[in-house]
């Protein structure tokens, strides 16, 4: 099945899987938006000049967390989930992958899915094997996006490497679980089988192989995204912690995180 300019097959899957394009909306994004490549590379700490800093600050404000690394982790997990969902959805439904080069993806960092990402041109991924394999997905998402994003967040906010790759593994497994559920409800066992095969292969990649354990569509990660440190937060369904760790008393929350971070 060929890619179509509107990527219409992604629409029934829900907002996290959808990629906006000028073809499938009939409109362009409002105002100039930075490409993800720019967001990963910008070094300015001023949120007015740095999309990633602006997003981290907005999430910190919304969640009322005083720890920038906590909001940075949540931003990372959200963007990883968007990228994995769109890429895995295309691979499972079309058997092909569009070029997701960070220079082609515009980011409305103030918006939510599906209005946050705009693909400026729908064209096949340069490797474009038939069907798309795990290596192509790793090239597009892990190396094309999550490596430069992780480097930026480590440099600016001191987020631990193991935590970030744990987020990436968790986001991949979550996208696969939703896609598998949709496929089985809609009688698309071919899509479900492709989804689980690709996900299992991706989780053997050196960057993801130690992030957790996949059992069917269930995933148990070996690190923690730090959501428990958000006021009123708790642990996620795939967290390494069975219950939220106790936070230290006093005005400073300290630096404790999950294992393998």
Query: Tokens 């499972």 sit at which residue?
Result: 92
Asked whether residue 112 is domain-assigned, the answer is yes
- What DSSP string describes 116-172? SEEES---B-SS--SS--HHHHIIIIIIIIIHHHHHHHHHHH---HHHHHHHHHHHH
Asked whether residue 236 is domain-assigned, the answer is no
pLDDT under 50: residue ranges of the chain: 250-261
Q: How many other β-carbons are positioned within 10 Å of the β-carbon of residue 216? A: 8
Per the DSSP assignment, residues forming a β-bridge with 117 are 107
Q: How far apart are CA 200 and CA 213, in angstroms?
A: 10
- H or E stretch including 192? helix 189-202
Asked whether residue 79 is domain-assigned, the answer is yes
Residue 247: per-residue pLDDT: 67
Asked whether residue 234 is domain-assigned, the answer is no
132 within 8 A of 96, measured Cβ to Cβ: yes
Residue 254: per-residue pLDDT: 33
Asked whether residue 23 is domain-assigned, the answer is yes
Asked whether residue 250 is domain-assigned, the answer is no
Residue 27: per-residue pLDDT: 67
Asked whether residue 256 is domain-assigned, the answer is no
Residue span of the structural domain in which 220 resides: 8-229
43 within 8 A of 133, measured Cβ to Cβ: no
> Which positions ≥6 away from 148 have C-beta within 8 Å?
37, 40, 41, 102
258 within 8 A of 163, measured Cβ to Cβ: yes
- Counting the structural domains of the chain, the total is 1
Asked whether residue 245 is domain-assigned, the answer is no
């Amino acid at each position: 099945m060929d890619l179509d300019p509107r990527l219409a097959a992604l629409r029934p899957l829900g907002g996290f899987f959808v990629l906006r394009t000028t073809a499938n909306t009939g409109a362009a994004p409002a105002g100039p938006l930075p490409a993800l490549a720019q967001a990963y590379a910008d070094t300015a700490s001023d949120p007015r000049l740095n999309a990633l800093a602006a997003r981290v600050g907005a999430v910190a404000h919304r969640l009322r967390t005083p720890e920038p690394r906590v909001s940075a982790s949540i931003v990372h997990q959200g963007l990883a989930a968007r990228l994995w969902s769109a890429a895995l959805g295309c691979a499972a439904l079309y058997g092909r992958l569009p070029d997701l080069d960070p220079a082609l993806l515009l980011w409305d960092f103030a918006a939510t899915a599906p209005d946050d990402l705009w693909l400026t041109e729908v064209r096949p991924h340069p490797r474009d094997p038939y069907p798309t394999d795990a290596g192509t997905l790793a090239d597009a998402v892990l190396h094309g996006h999550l490596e430069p994003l992780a480097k930026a967040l480590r440099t600016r906010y001191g987020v631990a490497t193991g935590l970030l790759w744990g987020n990436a593994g968790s986001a991949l497994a979550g996208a696969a679980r939703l896609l598998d559920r949709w496929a089985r409800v809609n009688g698309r066992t071919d899509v479900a089988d492709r989804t689980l095969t690709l996900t299992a292969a991706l989780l053997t990649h050196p960057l993801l192989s130690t992030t957790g354990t996949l059992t069917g569509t269930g995933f148990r990660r070996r690190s923690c995204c730090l959501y428990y440190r958000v006021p009123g937060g708790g642990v996620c369904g795939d967290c390494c912690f069975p219950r939220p760790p106790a936070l230290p008393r006093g005005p400073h929350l300290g630096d404790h995180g999950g294992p393998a971070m």
